[in-house]
Structure 1
Amino acid sequence: MGDNLMDKVSALGEKLKISGAEVGRKVTEGMSSMSFKVKELLQGQNEVDKIVEEATMETMDGPDWASNLEICDMVNNEKINSQEVIRAIKKRIMLKNPRVQYLALVLLETCVKNCEKAFSEVASERILDEMVKMIDDPQTIVNNRNKALTLIEQWGESTEQLRYLPVFEETYK
């Protein structure tokens, strides 16, 4: 009976060690994520933010295809990081300016169609979440809502693009 109790205590101890390690890992991940966001706030704009901002300025009449394709070339030639581009586009989509949102959606579409690395970044940067928030926001103009819905629908019907990603599957449902 004493051995059985010791086995149970040992098993519980092992569970606690594992749980403790898991909790520690999750806390570390959370702190890392939080420190990244604080760092991002303190640093302000980086080069990629500026490039994306220039391609999506509210003073533009329409998409600047030359700039959009130049951004794609820079991503494809690894002159700029695709993750940073998608993150910068996400920031522009989050703005409440209808012109900027539209131009950011067009740039996003251009990147997804022309940059191989942009596919997975769309999911990892949770840009789909922002698109859904924009669609659900009653303040969003109809053209932008339709553009976001069209992109999500196109990606959902595509067999080659974002459809395989779990985040996308959740959004597309």
Structure 2
Amino acid sequence: MFRSTYNFDKLLEKATSGVRVETDWERIIQICDLIRQGDVQPKYAVGAVKKQLYSVNPRSAVLGLVVLDSCMKNCGYLIHDEVGTRPYMEQLRELAKTTSHDEVKAKILELIQAWAYAFRDSPKYRAVQDILNIMKREGFNFPTLRESDAMFSADTAPAWVDGDVCHGCRIQFGMVQRKHHCRACGQVFCGQCSSKTAALPKFGIEKEVRVCERCFDIINR
């Protein structure tokens, strides 16, 4: 576990570097994978990411919010149960009120609105909607909801399925035949049956990632 948290911290440090110009989707995906695979506990992950939100470098803080949003869209209830609480949402509200950086404030407002829309029918995460309503009454100007954020309400990255054979061709996995997950459906495939790549904006992934042939066809239909 120590090695996994060490790797997580290193990935997070590089993904949220203040000198980074473009979003490091490759490392962000690795961060999500460590959480989904159970190598890093959700509470630890959320705590580590939260530290980045208070960085004196606004670029690091914004990238920390991008990482948090990607975890929300790709790690399911593991992260939802940590972030969608009143204490955590209150902390984000307070940060939006106190930060001196407009880009950090704008990103917080964007994410709170997207999450509130996603969880609008979920009593378990009512705190997210409550904070949105409170902030609206306080005069915060929320942005227009993006299509990819609206899609998040219906589409959350599926849990990964494990198996001994390829879900496509049924070939047996072993030392030579490695298993790969399709990031669109979560099923496990051999390399040949998951050789296609596609961006998955509905999961917050703008970089092209591995998908199976069926999902590739659906995405490009």
TM-score normalised over the length of structure 2:
0.51
Instruction: Decide which moves more: 147-156 or 161-170.
Output: 161-170
Q: Which residue of 2 aligns with 1:121?
A: 82
Secondary structure of the structure 2 residue equivalent to 1:165: helix
Q: Which residue of 1 aligns with 2:42?
A: 82
8 Å contact kept, 1:119–1:162: no
8 Å contact kept, 1:155–1:163: no
Q: Does 2:58 align with 1:98? A: yes
1:110 to 51, 70, 75: 70
For 2:106 and 2:66, locate their aligned partners in 1 and report how far apart those are by CA, in whole Å. Answer: 12
> Unpaired segments of 5 or more residues in structure 1?
1-45
Calculate the aligned-residue CA RMSD, in Å.
Answer: 2.4
2:95 aligned partner, one-letter code: M
How far the C-alpha of 1:100 sits from its partner, in A, is 0.7
8 Å contact kept, 1:155–1:162: no
Report which of the two has the higher share of strand.
Answer: 2
1:122 aligned partner, one-letter code: V
How far the C-alpha of 1:127 sits from its partner, in A, is 3.6
Percent identity, aligned pairs only?
24
8 Å contact kept, 1:89–1:104: yes
Q: Pairwise mapping of residues 42-53 of structure 1 onto structure 2 (< 5 A)?
A: 47=6, 48-53=8-13
Aligned pair in 2 of structure 1 residues 51, 127: CA closer, same or farther (>3 Å)? Answer: farther
TM-score normalised over the length of structure 1:
0.64
For 1:107 and 1:95, locate their aligned partners in 2 and report how far apart those are by CA, in whole Å. Answer: 14
Q: Which residue of 1 aligns with 2:93?
A: 132
> Unpaired segments of 5 or more residues in structure 2?
134-221
For 2:70 and 2:39, locate their aligned partners in 1 and report how far apart those are by CA, in whole Å. Answer: 17
Q: Which residue of 1 aligns with 2:113?
A: 153
How far the C-alpha of 1:83 sits from its partner, in A, is 1.4
How far the C-alpha of 1:128 sits from its partner, in A, is 2.4
8 Å contact kept, 2:96–2:105: yes
8 Å contact kept, 1:86–1:125: no
Relative contact order, higher structure (CA 8 A, sep 6+): 1
Q: Which residue of 1 aligns with 2:22?
A: 62
8 Å contact kept, 1:56–1:100: yes
Secondary structure of the structure 1 residue equivalent to 2:39: coil
How far the C-alpha of 1:84 sits from its partner, in A, is 0.9
